[in-house]
Amino acid sequence: MPYIGSEDTVRDLRRVLSNPNVQSDQLRYRNTILKVIRAMSQGVDVSGLFSEMVKACATVDIVQKKLVYVFLCSYATLNPELSLLVINTLRKDCQDPNPMVRSLALRNMTNLRLPSLVEYVEQPLTAGLRDRAACVRRVAVLGWAKLHNLQTNSEIDAAVVNELYSLLRDPDPVVMVNCLRALEEILREEGGVAINKPITHHLLNRLKECDIWGQCEVLRILQRYRPQSEDELFNILSLLDVSLISPHPPVMAATLSLFLSLCSGLPAVGLAALERVRGPLLAACGNTSREMQFTALCHIQLLLRSLPGLMGEHYKRFFCGYAEPAYIKQRKIEVLVELVNDDNVAILLDELRGYCTDVNISTAHAAISAIGRIGRSYSDKCLEILTELLGLKQEHITSAVVQTMRDLVWVCPQCSRTVCSAVEGCEAEIQDSQGRHALLWLLGVYGEQVSSVPYTLEVFIDGVRSEASVGVKMELLTATVRLFLCRPAETQDMLGRLLHYCIEEETNMCVSDQALLYYRLLHCGIEETRKVLQCRRSDPSLGVLIGRPAEPINQWSYIFNTLEPLRPGAIETESATIGGSPEHMTFDPKPNNDLSDTLSYSFGKTVRSGESEHVQCPTIFRCSPQSLQAAMQLVNIQTLAFTPPHTLPWRVYLYTNTQNKHSADTCHGTLILGELLYTGEEIQKKSKDEENVGVEARQDKREEEREEDTAEGRSEKERVKKNTAEKGIKVTLKQQPRDEKALKGFLSVLTTVLHALSSE
Amino acid sequence: MISQVFILSSQGDHLIYKDFRGEAGSDVVNLFYEKVTALTGDQPPVVMRHKDVHFVHVRQGGLYWVATTTADTSPFTIIEFLNRLTALVKDYCGSLSERSVQMNFALIYELLDEVVDYGYIQTTSSDILKNFIQTEAVSSKPFSLFDLSNVGLFGAETQQSKVAPSSAATRPIQSSRDQGGKSEIFVDVIERMLVVIGSNGVLMKADIEGEIKVKCYMPTCSEMRIGLNEEFSIGKSQLRGYGAAVRVDECSFHQAVRLDEFDSLRILRLCPSQGEQTVMQYQLSDDLPSAPPFRLFPTIERDNGGRLLMYMKLRCDLPPKRSVLDPTRLQSFSSELNLSQELSSPDQSAELQPQSRAVVWKIPRFPGGTQLSALFKLEVPGFSSASMLEVGPVSLSFELPKITATGLQIRFLRLSPFQPGPAQRWVRYVTHSDSYTIRI
């Protein structure tokens, strides 16, 4: 921030600087220059003193010289002409007998960043490469990189490049590493420094001489090397084993990165390397620096994607400390969820329970939803804890618990009884819209199990005028209609009032449209309404998503040891697929939790655009979900959701990951998402279904928008068109990233499976 | 690759700004400050992004140490570098604070100039750097009569002066060279305890992370030999001697340490460079060699007036005559509360912190083998039986001087073979509580 009266400061400084008495007194001169630099780093514009400072440059006092150079390098670009005056002094310094002075001059000469000075700099730089002192050579090598970046379009001087390559054999390790860095920059257009066998082996042999920074650099550059034989590969790996368990986290991470890129074809070796870094990574988690702890935690999350059992027995290392900042606690909670197994579940839940009353609200929420996620496998114990938490009667805890319970019930419908008795009577504590949204969903879907629901809903309906959240209003509509279906006598009156209010007085289009739709739907008869509203209570087949399969390492190895894993939400937690994760929570209105709704809408659109594949096997919809699921899993296709057998329209959602092993650069594989749709003959039914989809989708407007955004942003939709008989199964596929070959393969596999199943 | 490095005070004042590559403008400093202050509590602040600029920062000494870089850089490297930079600044300026950075900005610019060139880290070894750094540190602490407090009456050697003052190790390393000052060496064994004790008094988790740090103020030091306990063992299988073995699970050493005598005699040999360095790091998990230092016996009940009575008995199980600094914390309720307390000694104090919803019980001195008690009465509106669940856990933070939880000791410290002038050697032990939690 500029100081008031900065002009006065500059004027005063100038006066003192040009005072001959000051100039003759070395100490006073230096102190004045010190004041200039201080003003500069505080943000005062002292560029007006440039010419005075140029004069101050010619001195034997090294401290003063350094200070002046700090100044000159900051302001040189503003005063190109005056900077020319400095060059002479700098060139003279390059001849100085003291190597420190030489390196200083050389470094600052190249730091001035003035293209006009290039011609004066080249000669001292060339001389610098052959200097006796290593510190001068270090500076000179990087100087060439700076020079190249100043005039990027100029031709690369082959002589310099050769000289730099030969300096890779320099006795000083820093010079060697600097040569690598400089060549990387100069030869960027050709793909960086050439990494062939002799260079690789030379670098590996000298790795021990470098300090940790040099080692990291060398290891990073070696990632481009591809060993020619398996013997060579294993020689390199055994040579690097020491650095893999290095106590310095940067070296360990860089080595693992190199391991993973070298062993991309040998998954078993990669997994063994992950086992090996467990110790150092855990040690990094206990580093004194919070930031280092955080980095290690984020990378452990990556590793767990491929080796879920990696840290199983060390779960206690991820217990949160009292004074830890919230962001570390939350990462640790995320890791803990992954580490649950039969042996530690009791201790782990006990620990997590302690975090639920954390002072930091978001940490408390993270702990609560973690318990919910563990509840998918250990529902009894978790529900017990969650119910206990409701007893605290704390606003934010109750809201988070209800949301967690909703997410849990969607996956494990067997919990519904416990949940229903637990949520009864907690509506008074929930103030935020997301919590009420969740509560309403639960009350609507399980209305017949909770006796007091009509009274609860009545309170909501009476207060609908003052309700601010659109999402809550829409959920209230749905819940009331659902309740009406199972308990008509108690609900009829309030449903009427609610519909009346929403249609006549509500200003929000979404709400009033939805109310209108329900009104018309009810006109069509109770059976029709039931068909639309009561089909999605939960989906047992979603259980497939719970146990996350171990991903291959190369799904994430390309972001290992970059800043990517440290970004908030960079690591998709399992819950993200279900919709209960914090990033979904930020949307208001809260997206409905029904995954199939959102999916069916986005699929519905593609279906309507009429581009899909037909497979002739109409009997498929009669086969049981279990056998279909089992058959699909045999060929590595995961099923996401089904409609029950014998219903029309019959749908299945599935996905698969494919690996492309042919080309090394697209080793990430592609994700294919597919929908099977069998509508039967009746066209009428189909159109109705579409309407239904449209309705449900409006609830999820935001969610769907988001999905569309991302879909457009990152993926290319793949549609295959082929006209065959109308009576087939419609297959709609989405793929990301695009890969024709994989798609064709997938389709043929899928067709085979479907034919095999329907012929059974 | 580091594009810029800057240091900001917690108020956002620019202390140091250095642009290595000239790729981004200097307005990123203000941008960073805006971003970092706009973060809510739960967002991880370590990495932030603005268009192509990625900020990585650490917080130390109440300052922001920030580097801007590109997305594909290794976060381990940058964070380790920033930590190393803070350590260097601490070595050269004596201490790490806004004031010391402000006073020594010329020195820090010089350091940065030598440490990083064109965004590439050149060296951070103080052995190499000491040849290049010319500026002298300005000590931020003016001369004070209190510094003389440990000189006895009429300069007599008293008992007190055998103990190094705690500030002895917070001075710039360079002063020794120029003033021909005392050549001293400090060896610190620092351990951090992470303990969770269940409500039934059972030890649920006990981790110890320890390190041996050497801080050297000697201009030239040939070789140093540090002897550890002979019965020191690493890993579960290896046991040495018959007595109570000192055991750690994992152990790693500084690369300069030579271990040829370690296996047989447990001697570390190294040539310390000037400044501070971590010679050895070790961890021990799930197995404390002795009983945990503190135990708590809580009784929580409600009286008929709807008040919550918390009766805390805290026992220190350390050998007697060890005094301990020990502020205790106790987490509690969110609603408006009134606290009344009865403490066992007048020099203790307790207060309620509404922000963190905690009762803080401060105990200035806690001799080993004794027991303290306190009664807290809390008035909680709308108190229900379920609210009892919300009490706790109790977290203790303390510092135990002269004690190591693992039992690791330095047998001897030898500087060999020859030292010009008398060198003073100090060995200090301290155990901190990183997190010492007792469930209720």
B382 contact residues in A (CB cutoff 8 A): 393
Measured between alpha carbons, how far is B258 from B385 in angstroms, rounded to an integer? 61
Measured between alpha carbons, how far is A82 from A84 in angstroms, rounded to an integer? 5
Task: With CB atoms and an 8 Å threshold, state whether B14 touches A347.
Answer: no
Task: With CB atoms and an 8 Å threshold, state whether A323 touches B435.
Answer: yes
Q: Do domains B2-130 and B294-401 have the same CATH topology?
A: no
The letter for the amino acid at A88 is: N
Q: For residue A413, what pLDDT is reported? A: 80
User: Residue B116: pLDDT band by 50, 70, 90 thresholds?
Assistant: very high
B22 contact residues in A (CB cutoff 8 A): 77, 113
Per-residue pLDDT at A206 exceeds 90: yes
Task: With CB atoms and an 8 Å threshold, state whether B42 touches A347.
Answer: no
Summarised one tens digit per residue, pLDDT across range A165-197 is 999 999 999 999 999 999 999 988 888 888 889
Tell me how many residue pairs between chain A and chain B have CB atoms under 8 A apart. 219
Q: Does A529 or A1 have the greater pLDDT score? A: A529
Summarised one tens digit per residue, pLDDT across range B335-348 is 445 666 777 677 77
Mean pLDDT, all residues of chain B:
78
Interacting residues of A218 by C-beta distance below 8 A, sequence separation 6+:
A177, A180, A203, A207, A210
Given B250, B329, B357, which is nearest A283 (Cβ)? B250
Q: Are B376 and B310 in contact (CB under 8 A)?
A: yes
Mutate to test the interface with B, among A6, A31, A34, A41 (most CBs of B within 10 A): A41
Q: Which of A256-260, A753-757, B148-152 has the lowest mean pLDDT?
A: B148-152
Given A34, A216, A252, which is nearest B106 (Cβ)? A34
For residue A736, the cross-strand partners are A671
Summarised one tens digit per residue, pLDDT across range A391-411 is 878 888 899 999 999 888 888
CA distance A273 to chain B (A): 18
Query: Domains in chain A, start-ordered, CATH in brackets?
Result: 438-533 (no CATH), 615-759 (3.30.310)
How is residue B143 annotated by DSSP?
Answer: P
Summarised one tens digit per residue, pLDDT across range A321-341 is 877 888 899 999 999 998 888
Given B42, B72, B113, which is nearest A327 (Cβ)? B42
Task: With CB atoms and an 8 Å threshold, state whether A67 touches B106.
Answer: yes
Task: With CB atoms and an 8 Å threshold, state whether A248 touches B13.
Answer: no
Measured between alpha carbons, how far is B90 from B68 in angstroms, rounded to an integer? 22
Mean pLDDT, all residues of chain A:
78
Q: For residue B175, what pLDDT is reported? A: 56
Given B71, B75, B135, which is nearest A63 (Cβ)? B135
Interacting residues of B232 by C-beta distance below 8 A, sequence separation 6+:
B240, B245, B246, B247, B248, B266, B408
Chain B: residue whose CA lies nearest to A142? B118
CA distance B185 to chain A (A): 23
Q: For residue B133, what pLDDT is reported? A: 82
Q: In terms of Cα–Cα distance, which of A279, A423, A492, A333 is closest to B281? A: A279
Calculate mean pLDDT across residues B376-385.
Answer: 71
Given B13, B122, B390, which is nearest A138 (Cβ)? B122
Q: Does B309 or B106 have the greater pLDDT score? A: B106
Measured between alpha carbons, how far is A402 from A594 in angstroms, rounded to an integer? 16
| CA dist A495 → A324, A445, A530 (Å) | 50, 16, 15
CA distance B174 to chain A (A): 15
Summarised one tens digit per residue, pLDDT across range A336-387 is 998 888 888 988 998 898 888 887 888 899 999 999 988 888 888 899 999 8
Sheet with B47-50, strands from edge to edge, namely: B14-19, B2-9, B63-69, B53-60, B47-50
**ipTM reported for the complex, 2 dp:** 0.85
Measured between alpha carbons, how far is B18 from B336 in angstroms, rounded to an integer? 49
Q: Which of A127-141, A706-720, B104-118 has the lowest mean pLDDT?
A: A706-720
Q: In terms of Cα–Cα distance, which of A527, A430, A514 is closest to A474? A: A514
Per-residue pLDDT at B313 exceeds 60: yes
B80 contact residues in A (CB cutoff 8 A): 212, 248-250, 292
Residue with tokens 């010009």: B420
CA distance B289 to chain A (A): 18
Q: Which of A78-92, A99-113, B40-54, B73-87 has the lowest mean pLDDT?
A: B40-54
Summarised one tens digit per residue, pLDDT across range A230-270 is 899 999 999 999 899 888 999 999 999 999 999 888 888 88
Q: Does A404 or B243 have the greater pLDDT score? A: A404
Q: Are A107 and A143 in contact (CB under 8 A)?
A: yes
Q: In terms of Cα–Cα distance, which of B330, B335, B337, B334 is closest to B375? A: B330
Per-residue pLDDT at B176 exceeds 50: no
> Could you tell me which CATH number the domain at B2-130 has?
3.30.450.60
Percent of chain B with pLDDT over 70: 77
Q: For residue A525, what pLDDT is reported? A: 86
Per-residue pLDDT at A692 exceeds 70: no
Task: With CB atoms and an 8 Å threshold, state whether B77 touches A562.
Answer: no
Q: For residue A644, what pLDDT is reported? A: 67
Largest CA distance in chain B: 75
Q: For residue A658, what pLDDT is reported? A: 63
B208 contact residues in A (CB cutoff 8 A): none
Residue with tokens 């809201």: A399
B285 contact residues in A (CB cutoff 8 A): 314, 316-317
Task: With CB atoms and an 8 Å threshold, state whether B389 touches A392.
Answer: yes
Pairing of strands B423-438, B183-197: parallel
Percent of chain A with pLDDT over 90: 18
Task: With CB atoms and an 8 Å threshold, state whether A41 touches B16.
Answer: yes
Chain A: residue whose CA lies nearest to B30? A1
Task: With CB atoms and an 8 Å threshold, state whether A283 touches B281.
Answer: yes
Q: Are B124 and B115 in contact (CB under 8 A)?
A: yes
B79 contact residues in A (CB cutoff 8 A): 289, 291-292, 295
A37 is written with which tokens?
């630099």
Summarised one tens digit per residue, pLDDT across range A474-518 is 889 989 998 888 888 888 889 999 999 998 888 888 888 889 999
Task: With CB atoms and an 8 Å threshold, state whether A41 touches B77.
Answer: no
Given B42, B118, B384, which is nearest A330 (Cβ)? B42
Per-residue pLDDT at A639 exceeds 80: no
Task: With CB atoms and an 8 Å threshold, state whether A295 touches B79.
Answer: yes
Number of H helices, E strands in chain A: 37, 5
User: Residue B149: pLDDT band by 50, 70, 90 thresholds?
Assistant: very low
Task: With CB atoms and an 8 Å threshold, state whether A330 touches B439.
Answer: no
Q: For residue B419, what pLDDT is reported? A: 60
Show contacts of A649-656: CB within 8 Å, 24+ apart.
Answer: A649/A677, A649/A678, A649/A679, A649/A680, A649/A685, A649/A686, A649/A689, A650/A621, A650/A676, A650/A677, A650/A678, A651/A600, A651/A675, A651/A676, A651/A677, A651/A678, A652/A628, A652/A676, A653/A596, A653/A599, A653/A603, A656/A746
pTM: 0.79
Task: With CB atoms and an 8 Å threshold, state whether B135 touches A66.
Answer: yes
Calculate mean pLDDT across residues A103-109.
Answer: 91
The CATH architecture assigned to B294-401 reads Sandwich (2.60)
Calculate mean pLDDT across residues A465-473.
Answer: 86
Mutate to test the interface with B, among A45, A209, A357 (most CBs of B within 10 A): A357
Interacting residues of B246 by C-beta distance below 8 A, sequence separation 6+:
B228, B229, B231, B232, B233, B289, B406, B407, B408, B409
A565 contact residues in B (CB cutoff 8 A): 75
Calculate mean pLDDT across residues A84-88.
Answer: 84
Calculate mean pLDDT across residues B136-149.
Answer: 57
B45 contact residues in A (CB cutoff 8 A): 327
Q: For residue A21, what pLDDT is reported? A: 84
Q: Which of A77-91, A277-291, A601-615 has the lowest mean pLDDT?
A: A601-615
A327 contact residues in B (CB cutoff 8 A): 42-46
Given B80, B110, B436, which is nearest A248 (Cβ)? B80
Terminal C-alpha separation, chain B: 49
A139 contact residues in B (CB cutoff 8 A): 117
The CATH number for B175-289+406-433, chosen from 2.60.40.1170, 2.120.10.90, 3.90.1170.50, 1.10.3470.10, is 2.60.40.1170
Q: For residue B324, what pLDDT is reported? A: 60
B287 is written with which tokens?
């197995």
Summarised one tens digit per residue, pLDDT across range B320-329 is 655 565 555 5
Given A250, A326, A564, which is nearest B77 (Cβ)? A250
Pairing of strands A613-615, A729-736: antiparallel
Task: With CB atoms and an 8 Å threshold, state whether A321 touches B434.
Answer: yes
Calculate mean pLDDT across residues B390-419.
Answer: 80
What does the domain layout of chain B look like in residue ranges? 2-130, 175-289+406-433, 294-401
A62 contact residues in B (CB cutoff 8 A): 134
Summarised one tens digit per residue, pLDDT across range B206-218 is 889 899 998 888 7
Q: Does B258 or A587 have the greater pLDDT score? A: B258
Given A43, A317, A562, which is nearest B72 (Cβ)? A562
Coil vs helix vs strand at A424:
coil
Calculate mean pLDDT across residues B178-192.
Answer: 76
Q: Are A293 and A328 in contact (CB under 8 A)?
A: yes
Chain B: residue whose CA lies nearest to A110? B118
Task: With CB atoms and an 8 Å threshold, state whether A317 touches B45.
Answer: no
Pairing of strands B246-248, B232-234: parallel
Mutate to test the interface with A, among B31, B36, B47 (most CBs of A within 10 A): B47
